[in-house]
């Protein structure tokens, strides 16, 4: 699906961002290493080093296979990563994507690598929905608070029209 050009472009962009990151780390040595939340299980589906390096390739491969060919094996599925790695804390709260406590964000925030997975995919296991911090990413669009939501949005749309 992905052309050679795009792949290489992404790689080179990644290389550039890694270089930039290396630079910033040198300048600002105080940045703490990310604290990655522990998963539910004992062992990941692949060795940790392999996952760190290639998780994006695996996810992308799986994504295309599922989307276009209906392959629904679980091993490299994003849903499974989320259901194992995103867990409620002692207070029953779940970190959301974007917060350092979220498995994906813990590293991605640190590395400054932006991903758009969670614009479409849920960032928590289904059974934990409703238990996370309520984030208000941009405007007032909010999950379960319909009344607040509606008024604010109406006001917003009035401004625009």
Partner 1 sequence: MKLIRYASIDGNSNGYWGLMALFAAFILAALGSSYFMEHNGHYVTGMTNQIVWGLPHVFAVFLIVAASGALNVASIASVFNKKAYKPLTRLSALLAIALLMGGLIVLVLDLGRPDRLIIAATIYNFKSIFAWNMILYSGFIGIVGVYLWTMMDETVNKFNRIAGISAFVWRLMLTTGTGSIFGFLVARQGYDAAIMAPMFIIMSFAFGLAFFILVMFATYNGTGRELGDAIVNRMRNLLGIFVAAILYFFLVFHLTNLYATEHHGVEAFILRDGGVFTNLFWIGSIIIGGVVPLLMVYGPFCKKSRKALAVASVLVIIGGLASMYVIIIGGQAYPLQLFPGMEVSSSFFDGVVNTYSPTLPELMLGLGGVALSLIIVTLAVKALDLLPVSLADSVADPHHKD
Partner 2 sequence: MKTDNTTDTSKRKFLGGAAAVAGITIAPGVLLQTVQAKPDDQAVSNKVRWGMLIDTNKCADGCTDCVTACNSEHGLAGHDRPETDTQYIRKVTLKDKQTGHVKTLPVMCQHCETAPCADVCPTGASFKREDGIVLVDKHICIGCRYCMMACPYKARSFVHEDVYDQKDHTPRGKGTVESCTMCVHKVDKGENPACVTACNKEHKAMYFGDLNDANSEISKRLKEHGGKQIRADLGLNPGVRYQGV
Residues forming contacts to partner 1 in the complex (CB under 8 A) are 1-3, 5-6, 9, 116, 138-139, 156-157, 160-161
CA distance 80 to 100: 20
- Binding segment toward partner 2, per CB under 8 A, in 8-16, 28-36, 50-58, 72-80: 72-80
The interface partner of residue 14, options being partner 1, partner 2, none and the CB cut-off 5 to 8 Å by kind, is none
Asked if 72 interacts with partner 2 (CB under 8 A), we say yes
Among 34, 55, 63, 109, indicate the residue that binds partner 2 (CB under 8 A).
Answer: 63
Token digits of residue 73: 């094996």
Q: In whole angstroms, how close is the CB of 54 to partner 2 at the nearest point?
A: 18
Nearest partner of 128 among 161, 60, 79, judged by Cα: 79
- Binding segment toward partner 2, per CB under 8 A, in 12-20, 38-46, 59-67, 107-115: 59-67
87: left (phi over 0), alpha (psi -120 to 50) or beta: beta
DSSP letters along 106-150, please? HHHHHHT----GGGTS-SS-GGGTTSB-----SSS--SS-HHHHH
| Three-class SS state of 78 | helix
Q: Which residues bind partner 2 (CB under 8 A)?
A: 1, 63-65, 67-74, 79, 82, 119-122, 124-126, 129-130, 137-138, 141, 143, 149-150, 153
């Amino acid at each position: 699906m992905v052309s050679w050009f795009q792949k290489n472009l992404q790689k080179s962009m990644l290389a550039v961002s890694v270089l930039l990151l290396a630079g910033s780390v040198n300048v600002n040595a105080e940045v703490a290493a990310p604290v990655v939340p522990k998963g539910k299980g004992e062992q990941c589906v692949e060795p940790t080093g392999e996952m760190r390096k290639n998780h994006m390739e695996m996810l992308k491969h799986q994504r295309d296979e599922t989307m276009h060919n209906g392959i629904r094996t679980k091993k490299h599925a994003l849903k499974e990563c989320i259901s194992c790695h995103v867990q409620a804390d002692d207070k029953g709260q779940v970190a959301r994507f974007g917060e350092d406590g979220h498995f994906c964000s813990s590293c991605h925030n640190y590395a400054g690598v932006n991903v758009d997975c969670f614009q479409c995919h849920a960032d928590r296991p289904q059974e934990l929905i409703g238990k996370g911090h309520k984030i208000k990413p941009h405007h007032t669009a909010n999950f379960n608070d319909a009344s607040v939501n509606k008024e604010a949005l109406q006001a917003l749309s009035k401004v625009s029209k």
